[in-house]
Amino acid sequence: MKLPLAEFAKEIGVSGSTIKSVIKGTRSMTQELKSRVFAETGVIFVDVEKKDEGKREPLVYTKQDHQAFKKESVFNERAAKIAAGMAAKQVELLMLAASRPTVGKSLPIFTALNLALEKIKNEYRLEKHIDALLRERHATQTKYYTVKELRGNDLLAKQVDFKDDPKLKDEEQVLLSKTVGWLPTKDCFNIAWQNRELFDQLATCEDEDMTEEQKARFEKMGAEMDAEIDAFLPVELRRHGT
């Protein structure tokens, strides 16, 4: 069965427009895209100089070849743990190199790694599977949340699977659980969100002693925090035009 273009794009973690642009020839294939296609299908793209175009016999790649490749290349749990250990070694080297006194880039590198992991998780639609693994490991946190808190934080509401009801009052509390252990983007986001709420409250307070310069600096800090929060949000939950 032929896979629709949009579905194929989702399978390899890119947009449909990206694949369409490549097919039309308006966009070249990056090495990352070639790698993603190979990982999903086993198809290898070989760069050929123009003078050699049309001279090479096309490689034959059947549906059976693809099925065999998928069966051979899939990781079992043991292999996945070994691969994760190899990746962890590379992450360790990055962090140690970034923390050397002459470099001093440990925090931005740590943030970049977290954002990269979050991007991979979202592109390959792995969130529900990660949550399932964490729940199997009993890596959950159960606590009372106020309805107002949940209504004001879309990501938190999604994490705890909050079902809003107009009958609920803002001051009411509900007992809900969320998974914990995903390195630690969600938790960082919620801490930043709480700090942003504090900023908003302080900004609305009338303080005659605050100078214009202080107010400007305060607003700049708030804008920077907004940008940091947006970086952790899924695209559909980000603020637009604010």
- Going by the DSSP 8-state scheme, the letter that residue 138 receives in this structure is T
Give per-residue pLDDT as tens, 188-215. Answer: 666 666 666 666 666 666 655 667 787 7
Write out the two tokens for 131. Answer: 């949550």
Question: Global pTM?
Answer: 0.58
139 lies in the same domain as 200: yes
> How far is it, in rounded angstroms, from Cα 195 to Cα 223?
12
Domains identified in the chain, total number: 3
- Pair of tokens at residue 61: 């790649």
242 lies in some domain: no
Out of 93, 125, 157, a domain closes at 125
Domain-ending residue, one of 56, 90, 125: 125
- Give the domain range for residue 66: 5-73
Percent of the chain residues topping a pLDDT of 70:
71
Backbone φ and ψ for 2, nearest 5 degrees, come out as -80, 135
In a domain, 47, yes or no: yes
Same domain, 113 and 185: no
Q: Does one domain contain both 138 and 222?
A: yes
Q: What is the dihedral of CA 160, 164, 167, 171, to 10 degrees?
A: 50
Give a yes or no: residue 24 inside a domain: yes
Q: Are residues 16 and 58 in the same domain?
A: yes
What digits encode the pLDDT tens for the residues 21-63? 887 878 888 888 888 887 777 677 766 665 655 566 655 666 6
Q: How far is residue 190's CA from residue 179's CA, in Å, rounded to a whole number?
A: 13
Q: Give the pLDDT confidence of 106-156 residue by residue, as tens digits.
A: 888 888 888 888 888 888 889 889 989 999 999 998 999 999 988 988 778
The tens digit of pLDDT for each residue in 72-117 reads 778 889 999 999 999 999 999 999 999 999 998 888 888 888 888 8
- The verdict on residue 91 lying in a domain is yes
CB atoms within 10 A of CB 19: 19
Query: Of 50, 73, 96, which residue constitutes the final position of a domain?
Result: 73
Spell out a b/e string for 162-193, using b for 16 or more CB atoms within 10 Å of the CB, else e: beeeeebeeeeebebebbeebeebbebbbebb
The CA distance from 74 to 68, in Å, is 10
Task: Say if residue 201 is in the same domain as residue 168.
Answer: yes
Higher pLDDT among residues 99 and 15, named by residue? 99
Question: CB 94: neighbour CB atoms within 10 A?
Answer: 16
Predicted pLDDT of residue 8: 78
